[in-house]
Amino acid sequence: MMTALTLFTALFMAANPCELNEDSLDYDQLAYVVIAPFEINGPSLDKWDVVFVGDGFSDSEVDENLFAKKVEEAIDVLTDTRPYRRCAFNFYWVRLVSAESGADHPLEDPPVCRNTLLNTEFGDVDEHPDDDRFVYTPTPFRCLDAADLVTYDYDIVVVLVNDTEYGGGAWPEESIPLTTVSIGDGFDHVLPHEVAHRMAPLHEEYGDWPGCYELNEYTELEVDNPADFDNITTETEYGSIPWKDLIDLETPRPTTVEALEDQNPDITELEIDNVVGLWEGGMGYDHCIYRPQRNCLMRQEHYPFCEVCKISLRKAMAFLCPQDPLIGAPWDEIGRYFCRVGTIIRIPLPYCLSCPPPLGDRPTGPGGTLTVRIDLDPRPHVRVIRIVNALGETIVSGGTITDDTLSIVFEAVPFGRYYLELVPLECPPTGYFEFSVSFYINGNPVSFM
């Protein structure tokens, strides 16, 4: 019996004008590729494990640096978007090398084809010939095979596509935890939107089809039911609305701008955006289906998540971040870091090493750099200690031991982004390193609180 996935793939392969790489990934060929944990915040059972895999990045130095930069940007973009929390994730990366840069654009005339390992495409020539924003691959298991190179415990695999066009997508089958995101325009909005599909029961809140939603309009390839999602409903009776507890009893339902303005002529645009109600449109339809607020990141870029989506995502991250106030503590206090032998512990250093409180400038040395010394006390038992920059390049490796303190010294650009990386030699019985981090800049002790 042909499943939705195999039918979808067969249809695509029959009509797609671009040749596909369908062979199994050649692991011998991939041996030189960067395959490593990027940032580990706890055991896999207690975190969302996210693997970033690159497609359309060639072996050029430009593409190599670009992928490293985009992984770092992706982590910052995701965890800076509320309600995501950095401590709820472990991040890994796999830098695959494609023969050519870019991605396929089969809908263009003439079609643009690129030889990439994961066969990422813009547009679906069969099902959605007018939608060139949808980025996907007809060979999803190659992406999962790539993620297997770094961990088998992944929850989400994010394929970063080296293309300048806007686009992204979440794989329609729940059994395939795959998301694709172009690094082009809108990257900072597409990524948290697509990851939300994988983490929580959240559907699209935008409408592209001017008709009225009916479940029986859907084909066997589109079987989503609004009742399965937190942010979409066909219910109009107050008692049946999933988010009824967030709706003020005086809020008009269905909720429209006109109805709110009739109710309060002085209402502002911001106040309208903040109204939780029963706004028509979502799940690809303009009518007969409803969402919680006028705007939301699940509907339109440049907006935050609506309150219902925030609650749904918070549930997905519940209890994944430690409540102990000393974990993730300010510098100079004891911090706890999950320890696993052979795994990289990656600690972001303060962004502005040249800014003491109140903000100002620390004097720089020759060449405009700062001499930074970091002390870890008591010293963790590690086989590697190093400082890396935002591209993952090693700035300095190796430290010195004085009594029970481990120190490392490096030259820093005042506004550079740096990370302290540790590779444990042995772990304490608790499974955590516990130490304070002290900073000395140009020989003077400084505090970052």
CATH number at residue 422: 2.60.120
The residue assigned the tokens 């900072």 is 188
Q: How confident is the model at residue 446 (pLDDT cuts 50, 70, 90)?
A: confident
Query: Do both 163 and 24 map to the same domain?
Result: yes
Residue 69 lies in a domain: yes
pLDDT digits (tens, 9 = 90+) for 133-159: 788 888 888 899 888 888 888 999 999
Query: Do both 71 and 191 map to the same domain?
Result: yes
In the predicted model, is pLDDT for residue 221 greater than 60? no
For the chain, give the percent of residues with pLDDT over 70.
78
Query: Do both 123 and 16 map to the same domain?
Result: yes
Query: Do both 230 and 191 map to the same domain?
Result: no
Sign of CA dihedral 438, 440, 444, 449: negative
Residue 376 lies in a domain: yes
Query: Do both 276 and 411 map to the same domain?
Result: no
Residue 212 is predicted with a pLDDT of 72
Higher pLDDT, 319 or 179: 179
Instruction: Report the 3 state secondary structure along the chain.
Output: CCCHHHHHHHHHHHHCCCCCCCCCCCCCHHHHCCEEEEECCCCHHHCEEEEEEEECCCCCHHHHHHHHHHHHHHHHHHHHCCCCCHHHEEEEEECCCCCCCCCEECCCCCCECCCCCCCCEECECCCECCCCCEEECCCHHHHHHHHHCCCCCCCEEEEEECCCCCCEEECCCCCCCEEEEECCCCHHHHHHHHHHHHHCCCCCCCEEEEEECCHHHCCCCCCCCHHHCCCCECCCCHHHCCCHHHCCCCCCCCECHHHHHHHCCCCCHHHHHCCCCCEEEECEEEEEEEECCCCCCCCCCCCCCCHHHHHHHHHHCCCCCCCCCCCCCCCCCCEEEECCCCCCEEEECCCCCCCCCCCCCCCCCHHHCEEEEEEEECCCCEEEEEEEECCCCEEEECCEEECCEEEEEEEECCCCCEEEEEEECCCCCCCEEEEEEEEEECCEEECCC
Q: How confident is the model at residue 441 (pLDDT cuts 50, 70, 90)?
A: confident
Q: Which of 28-32, 54-58, 108-112, 350-354 has the highest mean pLDDT?
A: 54-58
Q: How confident is the model at residue 43 (pLDDT cuts 50, 70, 90)?
A: confident
In the predicted model, is pLDDT for residue 334 greater than 80? no
Which residues on neighbouring strands pair with residue 373, listed in sequence order? 409, 440
Least confident range from 92-106, 199-213, 230-244, 363-377: namely 363-377
Which of the listed residues 287, 316, 345 is the one where a domain comes to its end?
Answer: 316
pLDDT digits (tens, 9 = 90+) for 161-192: 999 999 998 887 778 899 999 999 889 999 99
Q: How confident is the model at residue 73 (pLDDT cuts 50, 70, 90)?
A: very high
Query: Do both 113 and 148 map to the same domain?
Result: yes
- CA 287 to CA 219: how far, in whole Å? 19
Q: Which of 10-19, 97-106, 337-346 has the highest mean pLDDT?
A: 97-106
Least confident range from 84-98, 183-197, 202-216: namely 202-216
pLDDT digits (tens, 9 = 90+) for 266-277: 999 999 999 999
For the chain, give the percent of residues with pLDDT over 90.
34
Residue 265 is predicted with a pLDDT of 95
Residue 308 is predicted with a pLDDT of 94
Query: Do both 236 and 284 map to the same domain?
Result: yes
Q: How confident is the model at residue 430 (pLDDT cuts 50, 70, 90)?
A: confident
Residue 159 lies in a domain: yes
Q: In whole numbers, what is the pLDDT of the chain averaged over residues?
A: 80
How do 207-212 and 168-170 pair as beta strands? unpaired
Which of the listed residues 171, 199, 227 is the one where a domain comes to its end?
Answer: 199
In the predicted model, is pLDDT for residue 380 greater than 70? yes
pLDDT digits (tens, 9 = 90+) for 246-256: 999 999 999 99
Query: Do both 41 and 176 map to the same domain?
Result: yes
* Count: domains in the chain: 3
In the predicted model, is pLDDT for residue 35 greater than 70? no
Query: Do both 177 and 260 map to the same domain?
Result: no
Residue 326 lies in a domain: no
Q: Which residues contact 150 (CB under 8 A, 6 or more apart)?
A: 35, 36, 37, 51, 92, 93, 94
Q: Which domain holds residue 159?
A: 4-199
Q: Which of 12-16, 85-89, 126-130 has the highest mean pLDDT?
A: 85-89
Which of the listed residues 134, 164, 199 is the one where a domain comes to its end?
Answer: 199
